[in-house]
Amino acid sequence: MKIKGKVWKFGPDINTDDIIPAPRLVSTDPKELAKYCFEYDRPDFAKNVKKGDIIVAEKNFGCGSSREHAPIAIKGAEVSCVIAKSFARIFYRNSFNMGLLILESEEAVDGTSEGDTLSVDAATGKIKNLTTKKEYMARPIPEFMRNLVADGGLMASIKKRGVV
C-alpha cells in the first residue's frame, strides 16, 4: 500500500481527549466523530483535513483512555496514516485492530514540518518527504501484527480462523 498526503504536525503526548473529547463519545459513527476530531486543540482540523492527509506527531501519541473512538475519528477524517516518535500502548493496539496505519520513526518526525508532503510505503516502512527530498525508515512492524493486518484486522482474523 502506497500513500501520499499532506502533513498535520502535532506535539508530544496528544491524548485521546484531544483527539475526541468525552462529550462526543455518545456516538460510534466515524463521520460523526470526525466532525469533532481535535476540536479543542486544532479547531481548523476537522474543517480543512483532506482525504489522505497524514498526521505526524512527537512522542506518546494517543495516551489516555482506551476509547476506540480516537482511531475511529481519525479514520473517519480519512487520514491515511499517523507517524509518531512513539504511541501510547492501547492506542497502538486499537489502531492495528481497526486497520488505521501507524508508524514509529523518530527521524521522520524530526525531519517533517507542518504542510510537507510525505509518501509512505506501508509494506517496507519507507517514508519519503517530497518537500525536503529526504528519506526515512519506520520501525518494522512485528510479524504477528502484520498477520493481523493481512487478515483484515482482529475480528476478521478471528472469523478466518473459524473460531466463531
Partner 1 sequence: MGAMTITEKILAKGAKLKSVKPGDLINSKVDIALANDITAPIAIKEFYAVGAKKVFNRKRVVLVPDHYTPNKDVKSAEQCKILRDFAHEQKITHYYDAGEVGVEHALLPEKGVVVAGDIVIGADSHTCTYGALGAFSTGVGSTDLAAAMVTGEVWFKVPETMKFVFNGKLDKWVSGKDLILRIIGDIGVDGALYRAMEFTGSAVSSLSMDSRMSMCNMAIEAGGKSGIITPDAKTKKYVEERGERKARYYESDAAAEYFSVTEYDASKLEPQVAFPHLPENTRGVSEAKNIKLDQVVIGSCTNGRLEDMAVAAKILKGRKAKKGLRLIIIPATPAIYEASMKKGYFKTFVEAGAIISPPTCGPCLGGHMGILATGERALATTNRNFKGRMGAPNSELYLSNPAVAAASAVLGKITHPDAVK
Are the beta carbons of 65 and 16 closer than 8 angstroms? yes
Residue of the chain from 67, 82, 104, 138 that contacts partner 1 (CB under 8 A): 67
In this complex, which beta carbon is closest to partner 1, that of residue 50 or of residue 160? 160
Measured from the CB of residue 130, what is the shortest distance to partner 1 in angstroms?
30
In this complex, which beta carbon is closest to partner 1, that of residue 26 or of residue 51? 26
Q: How far apart are CA 76 and CA 2, in angstroms?
A: 19
Q: What is the grid cell recorded at 117?
A: 508532503
Distances (CA, A) of 69 to 42, 62, 96, 137: 17, 11, 14, 29
- 3-class state of residue 156 by DSSP: helix
Q: Which of 62, 59, 47 is nearest to 11 (CA)?
A: 59
In this complex, which beta carbon is closest to partner 1, that of residue 17 or of residue 116? 17
Measured from the CB of residue 128, what is the shortest distance to partner 1 in angstroms?
28
Beta strand ranges found along 11-123 (DSSP E): 54-57, 81-84, 102-104, 117-121
User: Pattern of binders to partner 1 over 118-157, x per CB under 8 A?
Assistant: ------------------------x-x--------xxxx-
- Please state the three-class secondary structure of 139-152 as a single string: CCCCHHHHHHHHCC
Binding of partner 1 at residue 44 (CB under 8 A)?
A: no
Of residues 83 through 122, those in contact with partner 1 by CB under 8 A are 86, 88-90, 93-94, 97-98
Task: Please give the radius of gyration of the chain, using alpha carbons only, rounded to the nearest integer.
Answer: 15
In this complex, which beta carbon is closest to partner 1, that of residue 43 or of residue 133? 43
Query: Which chain residues interact with partner 1 by CB under 8 A?
Result: 13, 15, 17-18, 21-23, 25-28, 40-41, 59-60, 63-69, 86, 88-90, 93-94, 97-98, 142, 144, 153-156, 158-159, 163-164
